[in-house]
A = this chain, B = another copy of it.
Amino acid sequence: MKKVIMALCASLALTSSVLAQQNQSVTLGLEELIPGGDTHWKYVPKNVYGVQWWGNKCIFPTDDDVSAINPETGKKNKLFTLEEINKALSDKNLEKLHHFYYITFPFAEKKIVIIPLAKQYVAYDFGTKTITQIITPKENAENIDFCAANYSLVYTKGNNLYLATSDGKDTAITNETKEGIVCGKSVHRDEFGITKGTFWSPKGNLLAFYRMDESMVTQYPLVDIDARIATAEPIRYPMAGMTSHKVAIGIYNPQTGKTVYLKTVDPTDRYFTNVSWSPDEKKIYVIELNRDQNHSQLIRYDAVTGEKEKVLYEETNSKYVEPLHPLAFLPWNENQFIYQSQKDGFNHLYLFDTEGKLIRQLTKGKWLVQSIDGFNRKKKSILITTTGLSPLQSNAAEVDLKGHVTYYGKAQNGVEHVKTSESGEYAIDTYSTPNIPNKIDLIKVSSHKDLNLFTAPNPYEGIEMPTIETGTIKAADGVTDLHYRLIKPANFDPNKKYPTIIYVYGGPHAQMIHNSWQYDVRGWDLYMAEKGYIMFTLDNRGSENRGFDFESCTFRHLGVEECKDQMKGVDFLKSLPFVDANRLGIHGWSFGGHMTVAMLLRHPGVFKAGVAGGPVIDWKYYEVMYGERYMDTPQTNPEGYKECDLKNLAGNLKDHLLIIHDYNDKTCVPQHTFSFLKACIEARTYPDFFTYPGHDHNVMGRDRVHLHEKITRYFEDYLK
């Protein structure tokens, strides 16, 4: 179904298109195409949840039972059924299990499956068909972190951390009572790769956890309008340049019930990231970062005393250092670990010993390592996922200690996510390509031999869908290739002129276009294409997966270079004979909301209409961790903050602009948009505005359909 289209101008190299016209004239509505829509599930590629490793056997669940597959022979062996599990649960008066999505098999040698129920964690022995352990946290427990090694789980309730064990005990690890002290939760607003607040040691003998004091952070006054009388719901939100929170790392010993805190430097204006345990549980490694985010230190602490032992490695950068990955210790040598850094311009692997000596850079090149997936102990190789085959892809590779990389995955023109077996000899490769909705293959890494476990049908089978093309144009620097995606209506007529909408994100840590199913197209883009619009997206400089220079050219003036690149996209669109340059629209959310407003204000008259969702308007209202990385502080970069404050451009607004900002947005607080509206009112310009009360940074769930109908109507009003 691929077709190659002639290049339309010098800077353009269209590569492929998928889903050419088919035969049925069904059109899909927002209920079908938008997450949250009543029938959206029908059009999401099917998947099998719970496929995983049990040692070196592949677990494959169906609706009714769970089997183990021998990856060498492909032989399937049924382990247990849902009925058996539910009988055992019922015998213990426990709630029913409905599916196998979240079960785990932590013990390669034991016939034990861990079943997380709504109120309990249960261990089921499928050899003896009996429940062997039940752990019951308090009701409404959050941030549950189960440790198989000791059959315990820690969880938070309110702002304290608790330990529940299978003997029925429930112990408070922290007893904080002061508002603003938060234990056991993710800190630093989930930046620096932080996603959780508890870290079990490898054998389960100790627990590291975050304790954050945010009592000194100014509260932002959000409002709950569902209460009988609207109620203040303040959140602690550290804004760029303002007082930030302080973090500590505790080491809790379940045997003694005692907690030791790491004896770090003063935590004021300091980030403690990527907590890593030594395999022997004696040491804790933390990557620490100054508030400027231009100097990181890998520091080793004694896990028993909390004493600081050594700075193993330091990294500085005139722009920023951004540690995102914990250490990965070599399974065959506990004195060596892999450190990830983009200091050579791309995220690569570096082998260190535990005294901080760099042994060697393991990977190198103008591509980046995205994840470490596992190790092959026998071959002493590392299984990773990289962009080595294309910056639009994630592909599974094996790299040896000399840096030799072999791609072993099944979708070398697509996007893969792998889970590797205990030995590292086998991998479960879940992947899609522009034409393959979803496949799961079982692979022998050494031979690339595979067994298909699952192939999702095309959810749009028989439906005449829009066509999707990708290609590259040059960035505003004249040199860099930027990838775009172009969507045409199914009944596309090259002699017609179509209204055209740019969907933009444009910020760091995101890439809109991948060589995954349908090139990552969004449901709304398909919907609009069905309604007769050309849809266009360009990943500008500053976006993800292209290396540090590409990302950081935006440093200290976020949005400026990005707009220049997007204007190259506009030039490209204007060069296309079927694009009606008088009916251009633009839409984006969050950073893309900023981009939408910025494009309308920096280039008035180019677009007839824009819809900006949850936009950053003024970086001084954004939070410290993300904001200061790219913008420094309002005190140290006043010119940059001024240049990027869209309030200062409010008088330029002449096109139709609808801003949608959710009323309870905790990420990009409503002050951004309200202050922009005020600036426009003062400048006598006329944005439109809408809000979704109760919604956070994105409109999720059923209301997401409403949102997209709202956005659609705006373009239908002003572009058609």
Contact = CB atoms under 8 A, between A and B. Distances in A.
Contacts of A497: none
A631 interface: no
B225 A229 contact: no
A675 interface: yes
Contact of A229 (B218, B230, B703): B218
A223 interface: yes
A669 interface: yes
A684 B38 CA distance: 13
Interface string A685-706: 0101111111000000001011
A216 interface: no
Interface in A230-244: 230-232, 234, 237, 239, 242
A712 to B, nearest CB: 10
Copies of this chain present: 2
Chain A interface size band reads 35 or more
B691 A688 contact: no
A237 B692 CA distance: 24
A178 interface: no
Given A220-B230, A684-B709, A225 B689 contact: no
Given A221-B221, A221-B232, A706 B684 contact: yes
A677 interface: yes
A674 B663 contact: yes
A689 B692 CA distance: 11
A684 B620 CA distance: 35
Nearest to A217: B229
A258 interface: no
A232 B234 contact: yes
A713 interface: yes
A214 to B, nearest CB: 14
A710 interface: yes
Given A228-B242, A688-B688, A713-B686, A693 B675 contact: yes
Contact of A225 (B674, B692, B703, B706): B674
B686 A689 contact: no
Nearest to A685: B706
28 contacts: A221-B223, A221-B230, A223-B223, A225-B670, A225-B671, A226-B678, A228-B239, A229-B239, A229-B621, A229-B671, A230-B669, A232-B234, A663-B674, A674-B691, A677-B691, A677-B693, A678-B692, A678-B693, A678-B694, A681-B703, A681-B706, A684-B705, A684-B706, A684-B709, A686-B706, A686-B713, A689-B690, A717-B717
Given A684-B709, A686-B706, 4 more contacts: A225-B671, A228-B239, A228-B242, A232-B232
Interface of A: 218-221, 223, 225-226, 228-232, 234, 237, 239, 242, 620-621, 663, 669-671, 674-675, 677-678, 681-682, 684, 686, 688-694, 703, 705-706, 709-710, 713, 717
